[in-house]
Amino acid sequence: MSTSSIDLSPLVRSINNISDNLRVVNDNVSVVDSKVEVVAHQQAIATQRIDELYNEFTAFVAADIKHKQLQLAATRIIEVRQEIEKRFGHYSEVRRITTGILQATDAAIVRQETMRTATENLMLLAPGYWLAPALVALTAWIADNQPLAEKALGESIRRDDSKTSLFFALVCRRGQRLEANAKWLRRYFQIQNPHAMDREVVVMLDALANGVFGGAALTACSDVINQWLTELEEQAGFSDEQRKRWAGALDVLAPRMRDQEYPTLPNHTSAWPRLQTALCRARRNQSVHSFFEQMFTGETAVSASLESAVDSLLDSLVRNFDEEELPMRREERLLQLIVEEQGDRDGATRRFHAEADSLEDQTNFAAMLTNSSMNPQQFGATRATQRYAVSLSREWILSAHQDLVARDRAEVPAEVELACGSWKGKSVDGSNEAGLSSSLNSHYAERIEQAVNAVKLSAGVWIALIGGCLLGFVVLASGAILIGLVIAGIAAAYFYWQYKNLDKRRVEARELLEKERDQALHFLRACLAELADLRREIAREDAKSNDVTVFLESLTAAQFVLSGPDQQRASLAS
């Protein structure tokens, strides 16, 4: 059979189909090959976007947790306060009547029988509360009913000897009963243990700092306080403990950073958390200085009369929470701090631990000084007491401040690793910009060279060429010359097209990496500028630590004991 009689149309159609398929494959391979060089770039971008998404998600989760903690705390604090009112609300009535009895006696406008009836009713209203029998004893004393006064006084001492002794020391001072005042003070001091003191000692400090105790009583109080401090300092490890206590109290004064203060650096260094901590701690020096400066700025108001001064102290004594209230008061305080910290429970917990001693029923006298200084609202201390307590604690505060400064300086990262694009480098203070820029350019020059060199004919192209040529030769050998030439031609054309496209793909690979390089260089310069600013700010804020030292060294305890009012007449009935 001659070749002219052979129907080649099916073979031609198959070849045409192969040609079409090769064209499609050619287009697809071209697209794939054109993107091979940018995979690393896209991967870097994808990684960056994933990191950004992760950071955004983490921030969202943290914000959601804070929002829920804030809502929970705001709801729970109402419940706690309602429970406190339910369980201890009757104490308030007893407390309100205390100064009322003294002021009514001054004015002589309330019958003694009325006061006696009112205080006896309080005994039924507040069983177990030390103040109720103390008020019965007070009214019996005013009425010159010695048997009832002694009996009620014994019950009050049994319930709380320390508070009762201080209560009557203040009452006697109010009435200018100086001998009785001295006896009650001696009793109060005799039952005190400087290693485990009740919270009402702050009232005694208030009386001392505000000049309520004058003359011999003032000297006696000062001497006893010095003895307490000497006894405490002789205890092994006490000074270190007190330094740590003050360090913890001062450390919470570190301010937070504002959002976007340093917009670029946090995204390009793993050292950012340590840098941020270092800056906040350095800024704490200004916060500490401002805290003490404000404490000692301005005049401290002195009561116009002895009666009003003592009435204020008595009010503080009876309103300063009693031991059975403290567990709920501690919970209330933690919830209040969570609200103040906008739901940041960790931050609230750190603040709570720093002031936890102020809500303990007993602690050592030095801790009392710390609490009076740093948490006056929780401890019921006046501004005068704050000043006096700080001046007494000066050496511990100085040591704690110096410890914090030394710690902060040691923990500042000496060198910061930066990551911009695929490049990494290190800088101390941003001053080596030229060297880092050169390193980044060299890094990307090498990447560009590698990417350009990597653009070459793939194995698939060579297989297509060789396979097409072999198939063409086979067809030629079978006698189908035209078909064989067509097949070989298609393979050669495909190979030529791929070879001709290499330059375009190399240009694309170069341009993409050059764009990434320029962006990385921009980030590097921004990071170095921010790092330089941050280092300068840390150094500037760190230098303020000396201002704190100079200020504290200027304080002495004696200058912060006020000359309080003294009343010439006795206020209480004989």
Is the separation of the CB atoms in 521 and 433 below 8 Å? no
Domain annotation covers residue 120: no
Q: Quote the number of domains for the chain.
A: 1
Taking residues 147-163, what's their average pLDDT? 91
pLDDT recorded at residue 456: 65
Mean pLDDT is lowest, of 31-40, 182-191, 230-239, 403-412, for 31-40
- The CA angle 59-62-65, to the nearest 5 degrees, is 150
Q: What is the 3-state secondary structure (H, E, C) of 549-572?
A: HHHHHCCCHHHHCCCCCCCCCCCC
- Cα–Cα dist 102/98, whole Å: 7
- Cα–Cα dist 162/518, whole Å: 75
The residue written with tokens 């507040």 in the block is: 126
Please give the full DSSP string across 291-344, using - where no structure is assigned. Answer: HHHHHTSSPPP--SSHHHHHHHHHHHHHHSPPGGGHHHHHHHHHHHHHHHTTT-
Confidence of residue 4 (pLDDT cuts 50, 70, 90): very low
Structure tokens at 156: 């009050």
Is the separation of the CB atoms in 136 and 115 below 8 Å? no
Q: Which residues, 6 or more positions from 364, have their beta carbon under 8 angstroms from its beta carbon?
A: 194, 195, 196, 197, 232
Residue 99, pLDDT > 90, answer no
The number of angstroms, rounded, from the C-alpha of 501 to the middle of its chain's C-alpha atoms is: 59
pLDDT recorded at residue 65: 83
- Cα–Cα dist 144/152, whole Å: 13
pLDDT digits (tens, 9 = 90+) for 532-555: 999 999 999 999 999 999 999 888
Please give the full DSSP string across 256-271, using - where no structure is assigned. Answer: PPPTTSSSSGGGS-TT
Residue 256, pLDDT > 80, answer yes
pLDDT digits (tens, 9 = 90+) for 505-539: 777 888 888 899 999 999 999 999 999 999 999 99
Enter the pTM of the model.
0.70
Would you put residue 177 in left (φ > 0), alpha (ψ -120 to 50) or beta?
beta
pLDDT digits (tens, 9 = 90+) for 122-140: 787 777 788 889 888 988 8
Residue 78, pLDDT > 80, answer yes
For the chain, the average pLDDT equals 79
**Residue % of the chain over a pLDDT of 90:** 24
Strand partners, 423: 420
Helix (H) or strand (E) holding 146: helix 146-159
Burial class (CB in 10 A: 0-12, 13-18, 19+), 292: buried
Residue 257 DSSP symbol: P
Is the separation of the CB atoms in 280 and 256 below 8 Å? yes
Domain annotation covers residue 479: yes
Domain annotation covers residue 462: yes
The number of angstroms, rounded, from the C-alpha of 76 to the middle of its chain's C-alpha atoms is: 22
Structure tokens at 377: 């609202």
- Cα–Cα dist 572/97, whole Å: 16
pLDDT recorded at residue 398: 94
**Residue % of the chain over a pLDDT of 70:** 74
Residue 375, pLDDT > 60, answer yes
The number of angstroms, rounded, from the C-alpha of 424 to the middle of its chain's C-alpha atoms is: 31
Residue 358, pLDDT > 60, answer no
The number of angstroms, rounded, from the C-alpha of 322 to the middle of its chain's C-alpha atoms is: 30
Domain annotation covers residue 159: no
Residue 435, pLDDT > 70, answer yes
Confidence of residue 573 (pLDDT cuts 50, 70, 90): very low
pLDDT digits (tens, 9 = 90+) for 216-225: 777 888 888 8
Domain annotation covers residue 376: no
Q: Is the dihedral of CA 562, 565, 570, 571 positive or negative?
A: negative
Domain annotation covers residue 498: yes
pLDDT recorded at residue 544: 95
pLDDT recorded at residue 207: 83
Domain annotation covers residue 17: yes
| Domain span at 26 | 7-36+415-550
- Cα–Cα dist 222/218, whole Å: 6
Confidence of residue 113 (pLDDT cuts 50, 70, 90): confident
Domain annotation covers residue 195: no
pLDDT recorded at residue 526: 94
Query: Considering only CA atoms, which of 158, 155, 91 is closest in space to residue 325?
Result: 91
Give CA separation, 159 vs 129, 146, 150, 155, in Å.
7, 20, 14, 6
pLDDT recorded at residue 506: 76
560-574 burial: b if 16+ Cβ within 10 Å, else e: bbbebbebeeebbee
pLDDT recorded at residue 488: 63
Confidence of residue 287 (pLDDT cuts 50, 70, 90): very high
